[in-house]
A and B are shown apart, each in its own frame.
Chain A
C-alpha cells in the first residue's frame, strides 16, 4: 500500500512568488493534516481536513496560506505571495477516522516538502 506522498520534494522560489504544495494521503484516510517545521523550531500544526471540510485551521499563520482538498482526496497548500519566513519543511499526514470514541488512529506522515524562499 502506498504511503503519504508529497510533491515537490524541494522548492526554491523568490520572495513574492507563488508556490503550491501537494499532498496525496493514504487511500481511504479521511483525516488530512498539514504541519510545518521552520529551521530549529518545533513542527507546528497548520490545519486539519476531514474529507473536504476544514475541521481546524487554527494553525494557519496568515491569509497568504490557502489550503484546499477538493473531493476529499489530495490536498494542496498554496503560499501567495511567499515571504522569507515561510521557508521550512511542510509535512502532510493522514489518518483514518476513529470508529470508537477515544480511540487514536495513527497519523502517517509524508516525507515533507522543503521550501526555500530567497
Chain B
C-alpha cells in the first residue's frame, strides 16, 4: 500500500538555523508528493509539491526534491524564522485524489 514516513518531532531550532525534515514514502506507480504546513489555530496549507521524479518544489524559502531512487522528499530551509514554527506534514497521492499523510513533524523556532 501507500505510506509516508517522516521524522519524529518535535524539532527545536534557533532562528537562522538550517532545517531538514526527512520524508520517505512507499507507493505503487509514480505518486505526486507534497509538503503541507499547519500553523497554530489554522488549517493545513499546501507548502510545496512535486509531481515527477527530480522535480524540485519550492516556496517561502523551503525546498524539497522528488528522489525516486531513494523514495524520499526531504524538506529543507537554509535559515528558519520564528514564524516558521508549525507542524509540517509530508503527503503523497498516487492518483491525484485522496492524500496519504505522514504523522507530522512539529517545528519550534526560538529567537
Contact = CB atoms under 8 A, between A and B. Distances in A.
Given A42-B4, A42-B102, A56-B97, A106 B46 contact: yes
Contacts of B89: 43
A45 B99 contact: yes
A4 B43 CA distance: 9
B98 A112 contact: no
A98 B96 CA distance: 9
Interface residues of B, number: 23
Interface in B60-111: 89, 91, 93, 96-104
Contacts of B104: 37, 42-43
B101 A43 contact: yes
Contact of A59 (B42, B43, B51, B98): B98
A33 B91 CA distance: 15
A103 interface: yes
A37 B103 CA distance: 9
Interface bin, chain A: 20 to 34
Contact of B43 (A33, A55, A109): A109
Contacts of A56: 97-98
A11 interface: no
A112 B42 CA distance: 8
Interface in A82-102: 91, 93, 98, 102
Contact of B96 (A35, A40, A42, A102): A102
Interface of A: 3-4, 33, 35, 37, 40-45, 48, 55-56, 59, 91, 93, 98, 102-104, 106-112
Of all A-B residue pairs in the complex, the 8 with the closest CB atoms, nearest first, are: A109-B43, A43-B101, A109-B44, A45-B98, A111-B43, A110-B43, A42-B101, A104-B96
